[in-house]
Amino acid sequence: MPHALAYSAKSPTAPLTSFSIERRSPGQLDVAIEILFCGVCHSDLHTARNEWENTIYPSVPGHEIVGRVTAVGDLVSKFKVGDIVGVGCMVDSCQHCKPCADGLEQYCENGFTGTYNGPEQGTGANTYGGYSSHIVVRESFILRVSHAENDLAAVAPLLCAGITTYSPLRQWKVGPGQKVGIVGLGGLGHMGVKIAAALGAHVVLFTTSANKRADALRLGAKEVVVSKNAEEMAAHAGSFDFILNTVAAPHNLDAFLVLLKLDGTMTLVGAPASPHPSPGVFNLIMKRRRLAGSLIGGIRETQEMLDFCAQHGIVSDIESIRMDEIETAYERMLKSDVKYRFVVDMATLKN
């Protein structure tokens, strides 16, 4: 079994440190990948620190992976050695339930296999993610990357932040003539702004950080609202078709629900460790508003998103970091100080 270098959390409180893992030898349907870049998602932090109370230690986070194919199994037909590919939040699923058949592997009735924190299909073993030098993944969970070679670090975050925002924006048919809110300008939020703008919507960014105003406009928002400012919020009452809420912490959802118009929807993608205060029923029933959720996106749709972003020249705005800077990156993320995604240059793992 091939060894790989990695960075892992050994407990909820210990900082991540270097670690050696074993990857399986590529099977007939497997592709082996040398990881070039891995984005840092807030889910990595939730998992490393066991905030969702389901972490299996040691844990190697990372599910925004871009790399180069180093070997393929005999039955692999879509990829060859040297190809630039991506791996997102899933590496497997049951492949026979209805959601899997419909290309919605993230809703697999038997549970998809996370790129990290498992469980591996069949063995139930823990899986190790992208904070590592290599990974072996079955062909059907690998994405083709067609962006230019010098964009690859900035492409990595599309594999989670990109698809997690693209999927609900498509599901709720966001497009021209619609007023769309994005809540939170972090990793997910800044991709939401870019993609919703590319889909033709009038985008309004809600932020708690007044100093992000200029960036939000540059990224494609037409208006910026500081959500702590009640007057600014009130000016938008009853006016939104759709709001995508990416906030990673519990907060008052009613403040946003009242901004939806008749039949408007707010979809939550942020996954805080503790619940939001329950929203008021009257804000929903009086205007037939909907409060929804959405989980990443299926493999087919992830490929569609990558191709859409390549066509529209969309990548993430990133800060490149060394692997040994991950704890500092987490601390900055907790202060909403991310501009707007950290990406680990995996070459720094080997040094």
Contacting positions for ligand NAP (CB under 6 A): 41-43, 46, 160, 164, 184-189, 207-209, 212, 246-249, 251, 269-272, 294-296, 333, 336, 338
- Count of other CB atoms within 10 angstroms of residue 18: 12
Three-class DSSP labels, 103-116: CCHHHCCCCCEECC
Q: Match 């960014």 to its residue by tokens.
A: 205
- 90 or 323: CB nearest ligand NAP: 90
Task: State the Cα torsion 164-250-324-36 to the nearest 10°.
Answer: 0
Q: How far is the CB of 63 from Zn ion (least distance, A)?
A: 5
Q: How far is the CB of 77 from Zn ion (least distance, A)?
A: 29
Residue 195 interaction partner, one of Zn ion, ligand NAP, none, beta carbon < 5-8 Å per kind: none
Residue 49 interaction partner, one of Zn ion, ligand NAP, none, beta carbon < 5-8 Å per kind: none
Q: How far is the CB of 292 from ligand NAP (least distance, A)?
A: 11
- 88 or 279: CB nearest Zn ion: 88
Residue 188 interaction partner, one of ligand NAP, Zn ion, none, beta carbon < 5-8 Å per kind: ligand NAP
- 198 or 329: CB nearest ligand NAP: 329
Q: How far is the CB of 162 from ligand NAP (least distance, A)?
A: 10
Q: What angle do the packed helices 187-198 and 161-171 form, to 10 degrees?
A: 40
Residue 88 interaction partner, one of ligand NAP, Zn ion, none, beta carbon < 5-8 Å per kind: none
Residue 186 interaction partner, one of ligand NAP, Zn ion, none, beta carbon < 5-8 Å per kind: ligand NAP
- 60 or 185: CB nearest ligand NAP: 185
Q: What angle do the packed helices 161-171 and 299-311 form, to 10 degrees?
A: 100
Check if the beta carbon of residue 316 is closer than 8 Å to that of residue 338. Answer: no
36: its two tokens: 């070039």
- 175 or 272: CB nearest ligand NAP: 272
- 26 or 118: CB nearest ligand NAP: 118
Query: Where do runs of H (alpha helix) occur along 142-212?
Result: 152-155, 161-171, 187-198
Residue 23 interaction partner, one of Zn ion, ligand NAP, none, beta carbon < 5-8 Å per kind: none
- 186 or 264: CB nearest Zn ion: 186
Question: Nearest-5° angle of CA 204, CA 207, CA 208?
Answer: 160
Three-class DSSP labels, 336-347: CCCCCEEEEECH
Q: How many helices (H) and strands (E) does the chain have?
A: 12, 17
Alpha-carbon distances, residue 11 vs 46, 57, 63, 133, 331 (angstroms):
12, 6, 19, 22, 17
Residue 70 interaction partner, one of Zn ion, ligand NAP, none, beta carbon < 5-8 Å per kind: none
- 187 or 264: CB nearest ligand NAP: 187
Q: How far is the CB of 338 from Zn ion (least distance, A)?
A: 13
Question: What does the alpha-carbon distance between residue 16 and residue 30 come to, in Å, rounded to a whole number?
Answer: 28
- 83 or 325: CB nearest ligand NAP: 325
Among 84, 104, 160, 268, interactor with Zn ion by CB under 5 A: 160
Q: How far is the CB of 136 from ligand NAP (least distance, A)?
A: 23
> Interacting stretch for Zn ion, rule CB under 5 A, among 137-145, 159-167, 190-198, 236-244?
159-167
Check if the beta carbon of residue 306 is closer than 8 Å to that of residue 145. Answer: yes
Name which of residues 36 to 65 contact Zn ion (CB under 5 A).
Answer: 41, 43
Q: Shortest Cβ contact with ligand NAP: which residue?
A: 186
- Count of other CB atoms within 10 angstroms of residue 73: 17
Q: Which residues contact 272 (CB under 8 A, 6 or more apart)?
A: 247, 248, 249, 250
Question: What does the alpha-carbon distance between residue 264 and residue 245 come to, in Å, rounded to a whole number?
Answer: 13
Q: How far is the CB of 300 from ligand NAP (least distance, A)?
A: 16
